[in-house]
Structure formats: structure tokens, C-alpha cells
Structure 1
């Protein structure tokens, strides 16, 4: 066979070259067939290709595969066509791969997954609805990546059965409150780890309101949180309640103390130094007579079977009309009596643990809520003042008018002394009229004349009242005095 000339060889290369490159590229994108002899270990329905120096997942995976381990390889991208439908696959391990790209359709063929490990990779962003096909997923590991943005955590929408979500050691700067708070939370989520991130603020009021079964699995330690007594109060309360999220990592619950330079200190030491925060104690439940209260059996595990015992270790029964166990396991008491004070005990039984919670109730011997008794005293004083004012007005304006200016109360013009001392003047005149008949005795009595009587009663002979003010005398008309009210000396 003769040798091909150079132009022919160039034309053949131009035709075959792209085909060879496409085959090579497809081999890199799709991967080589599964090799259970040299690269992978195949044990029944478990396939492990860990540390196989793979750049792509292997092809031709058996449909009966339930566990697939591809960790510690060099798989940098995971595309939608990486595998056929694996309807039995429930565990997929892809950690330590340098994975930087996940297709939004990467999991459409493995919808039965319950455990997905994507930790220790180079993921930077999670797209919205990325995990939506995984409605059966229970555990998702995303720790030790470079995730800084999560589309308002909509990437986890559709994970109706997710129980544990690990997001520690990333670059997250916002606490994912919507994953745990009322109405928007994932109802099955019992563990959320956002420790060792860049979170600088927590909604502490919302965290306090969370049930204990969420707080027990809410890990937020080792974040650059600013020190405050509110933060100390939350962490100290969780420690007193023996919640794992604080008890297991109490030495890693730190905060940044303001100042120059800024320092990292233990959050639980803020009451001993630094901010001098108040000591935190578990307080008793205070109530008042006739109140109806609900005692919360706040357990560290969800959906536990709860029973209650009254003071004296008496189990709650239908015979006790003042107590009732609610559908959520809490205890309703009331209307309260004074002898309802004591320790109430909730016994909770769960799959993983049992709990006993004691709640001390103190019933005050009063029907008032705190502060209302002082308010009642204030109202009583105000009413008394109003009544006094009304009585003064009645006395001033509604009593019978006895002034000279009133109709029928005019003084007689011929009587110079007025009616105030008419009786005394009449007596004096009678003495003068009978004087001659009584002889010397009458003369002696007549010396007690009208002038003496007038001056004795504070009147001068002209019928005017006289008051002494200092060294001066002040006169007033007798008509200003009531006619039937004698003046006392």
C-alpha cells in the first residue's frame, strides 16, 4: 500500500481528531464503567469506590445498589446524567472530592435517598430547589464547604422528612431562623448545626420561644457573636435545662467582647466578670386564686408520651375536676385554690430517652394579678376624693339660703339691732317696762341695758358687728348674719 501524501493525512486528521476528542471528553464527563476488580469493592448491594482516584462517578451501576461510596476522590462536578435511575439507593457518600458544582438536576434519578454526604468539598452556593426531588431525605451533610449564600434557604424546600442538617464550618453570615421558627420551620428537623460560621447576630427573643426539642439540637457555638447579657441569659438557661447544644460544647460557646483590642471570651463567664450579668435561675411558676394555668412539659425529644403527677405523687385522673391533660401533653390547672401549690411532675417516655420534668407552682392567697391590688387602692382613693368634692359643693350651693338678700329673709327696718339678738333686746325692754313695779330690785336689773347686751354679743349700739383685727376694729352689717342663729361668745 502506498503512502498517503501530506494533504490526505491532514484531511483525515481533521475528520478523526474531533471524534477522538469528543470520545475522550465524554469519557471524562461520564466516567468509566464500574470496575469491581481493581477500583471498587462490590459487596452485594453496597458499592464502595472510595479513594479510587476517580474524576467522575462510574457508569453501569447495578439498579439494586442501596449504598454508594464515592468519597475521597477527585469528582469536581456532578451533572444530571451521572447515573441512571437507582430506585433503591438510600445512601450516597460524596465527601472529600473537591466538588464545586452541583447540577440542579443532579438528584432526579436518586429520589429514594435518605442519607446524603456532601461534606468537605468546595461548594460555594446552593441553588433554589436543588434538593427538591429528595423528599425522603433524612440526613444532609454540608459541613466544611465554602457556602456563603443560600437562596434564603429555599434550597431545602421539599425536604419534608429532613431530620438533621449540618452546615457548620462554612461562610454563612445569616442565621437560618426560618428553618426552625413557628409556621415556617421544617416540622421533622431535630438537629440544625450552624456552628463555626460567620454569624454575627441572633434573634434571641425568637430562640427563647422555641420548644426544647428544637433547642436541644440547635448548635450555634463558635460564631463571632457580640457579648451581651441577653446572649448569656439564653446560653445559661439552656445549660440549666441540660440541653445538648450547650452542655456538649459549653467551652466553645464564645462571644466577642467589645473594646480595643476585641477579645474572645466564654459566654458562660459573663456573669462572673466582664459584663457582670445577673445570675440565671429556673424560677417557680407563680399564679393566683381562681386563675387557669397551663404547665408545659417541654421535653428534649419530640412526640413523647407524657403523664402527670400532682403534689404528693398522685397521678392525674378524670376524678380530679380541676386538672386536665391537653392533647399536646401539657397540663391545665384551674380554677386554682390555695392548696394547689406544690411540685407537679411530668413523666415523658420516648424512643431514645425518658425524661422527668418537675415544675413548682406557687399559688398566692389573692385573686389579684400582680400589681392590681395597688391599682385598686388608687381607685378607692380617687373615688373618696371625688365624693368629698361633691359633698363640699352640696354644702356650698344646695343648702337653704338664709342671707338677707334672699326673698323672705329681709330684716325689719325699725329694728336697729337686727334679728340676731332680738331675744336679748326684748328681755332688756321687758325689764325696763316692769321696773317701777319691782322697786329697787328692778332698778338694779335695769342697769344691764341694751348697750351692754349688744357689746356682749359683738355689736355696737348702731347694730353693727365688731371684730378685732390686731389693734383695730372692723365693722360689718348685722344683716349678713342669719337671723335664727345666735352668736356664741
Structure 2
């Protein structure tokens, strides 16, 4: 029998088991796997959709990897509200009333790869919103009231692939944040259906190829501009999905009138001639000029920035900077309205000139490129065209002559000449002759040692004798020594005979 000293600890353990049926590990396990009554839990998926929630449920299972709070009435996201979900990688808070995101709202959420904040009431995207989300791949912010995006708000998203900012109120966007190196994995940036009226074309053109392929800018009220049209036309020819997929949704406003919107990629014939005559419509003059050596040339910097606080500078083809106070070899002069004068054009002045206009009032800049061609004389191009036309005419004429000589059917000159006929066969062309011609073997056989004559119908009778009808072209038949004819005067039928008379 055991001693009382050993029984006491055992009894205390039994009493503790009876009084505390839920031990600490069991309670911790229950809390770890607890599912809120207003949500539906399926393994690691947690759905709290359309529950009229104004606050996030306090007890959430830590095993959840996906949390859906869509279609509720949440107004803000508090600090550290995701700290209890260390495994979370998908968060959907779309179709709520979120207008404020605390600075530490996404602390301890570094595993998050998909974040949906669409269809809320956000007015801006601040720098601190997503700094903790280094593994985020998809960010949905469309259909909010966002009017501003901080230039550093996206810089912390080093792994992001897709960002959706369409259907907001953006009038400007920090395109510099999209340059190469900042968002190395970015493949889609949707800024369509906003209020952008212009683009910094120089910055957009300098973006990486992969970014431009997925940079969606359609359905924005852009002002019609030659540089803008040229950029989108180049993107279309390059097969960029951002233009090809929404070709008819690229519009611009002619004459700066909201009602005069044009689908410039669909009706491109109206935009292909961006000349000075269409300056009022497009806001840019012809981007190509020709000048003769030694003559002056004035180039305008026609951009949409035309206020008094706009400053200009030019970059020459040799990468030299042209400002109001500087000059390159005293050949240029920059005027206050942005026009650049080439005083005496030389061959080395040819190339592409870039104008940069900066508006301090609007805090915006625009660029424009102008191509200058310098000729030795006014007739350089015409002389080349005339000489080329003359050379082409000569080549065509020579080809026609050769075709006539070598490709026409053979007539007489390409056949072998017949051998001269013997004298006794000279009269073979008589219409009464049924005898083979002289070159026939039978004729040659008959003609050996005998004279064969073929007669024509009687044309004239003289003393009952038949006179041979000999043409002037057979003078040898007039020689009596060659031709001797005996004919019976009583035999009148011999005249019509087809048989040759042989002497």
C-alpha cells in the first residue's frame, strides 16, 4: 500500500483535471482554429462576403491563407489588423467604403501577393500604404476616387506584376516611377479611364519595352497632339497589347473641346498630316524642315504649354545645349517664345533637334522633336529626281527594243534563204500550173535536159498562135534561145491544158 506522501501529488492532479477541463494547450488550439460566426471557413480559406460588417471580426483563424471581406461596409484599415494572420497571401476588401489606410495597416503581412482594394473611396495613394508589401504581385485599386498617386507610393513593390488604377480621377501620374530598375517585374499598368489630358511623351517613350507593352492609357481625354498620335501609332505598329486590345478606345479632344472627341487610331487619315495648317487642331506644326546651305531657318517649339511662365531650351543634333544665353559657334539664336533660329545653315547642322518646354505654373514639361535637312542648292532634290527619271526612261526603252528584236515571232529573216532557182523554172508562178515547184524533187528531175514552160490563160491572139504571157519581171524568158514553143494551131484545147509542153 502506498504511503500518504506519494498520494497527495496524484490527488492534486486529479482535482486539477476535474476543475479545469480545458487545459491551456487545448484553449490555445481552439483559438488557433476558431472561425467567426459571421464567416465561412473552409480549411485555409476564410470568406466573410456580404455580411454588412463595419469592423473586421476580432477573432480570425491564424491558418487562413485567403481572406475575403468584399461587399461590406468597412471604412478604414487599422494598424496591425493582419498581425494575427501570418500565413495570409490573398486579401480581398473590394466593394467597401474604405477611405483611410493607417500607416501600419499592412505590417506583418509580408507574404501578401494579391491585394484587392477596388470599388472603395480612396482619394489618394500615399507613400506609406504599401511599403511593407515586398512580395505583392497584384494590386487592384480601380473604381476609387483617387486623384493623386505619390511618386514613391509604388517604389516598395519590387515584386509587383500588375497594378490596376483605371476608373479613377487622375489628372497626372508619376511615370518616372515606372522607369527601368524601379519596378523590375512590372508587366501591366492600367491607368485607363481617368482624366489625363496630356502625357510627358519623352518620359513615356523612355520606359522599358515590357512596361509600354502593358501600359493602358485608353479612354483618357487627351488633347490632340502630333507627338501623342505618333507615339500611339508606333505602339500599334509594334504590336503592343495596350493599343491593339483597345484600339477604338484611344481618343483625343480636337480644339480642346470635350464634345469634339476623335478616335485617332481608327480615323487616322485625319491625323496623318500634322502640318502647320492643322496647328489649331493638333497643337503641333510639321516636324520636318528643309533648308539650303547658307540660308536662315526658324523652327518653332509648338507645344500645349504656351503661357508666359514657360521656359524653353533646345538640344542640337550634336548633343549641345542651346539656351537663351548660350550659343554654339554663333549659329543659333533662341527667342523667348521658344523658336530657334539657325542663322546660316550648314551641312553639319542637319539632324534632329529636341525642344523642351517647362511650365512653372503647371509644374509640367513637354518635348518636341524637329528633323532638319540641309541641301547644297534648291535643286538638289529636283536634279536627282530628273536624272533618275531620265535614266529610268532609257532603261525602259532599251528593254522594249531588246524585246522587239528577240521576242517577236520569226518572219523572213530567221528562215534559211532558198537556193537560186534555175533559169528554166522562172515561169513557175503561172496560175495554170499544177506541177510542183522547182525546189520539189520531181520538178528538179523533170527539168534536167529539158525546158518546161507553164502558160497563163490566153490574153491575146495573133494569127491563130498563142502568145506567151511573160511578165516584165522575167526578162530571161524573152530570150528565144532559152524558150522555144511549138503549138498546133488546130489544137485550141492545149491552151487550157495543165500539161507542160516539152521541147
For the aligned pair, the TM-score class normalised by the smaller chain equals 0.3 to 0.5
**TM-score of the two chains, using structure 1 as the length reference:** 0.48
**TM-score of the two chains, using structure 2 as the length reference:** 0.46
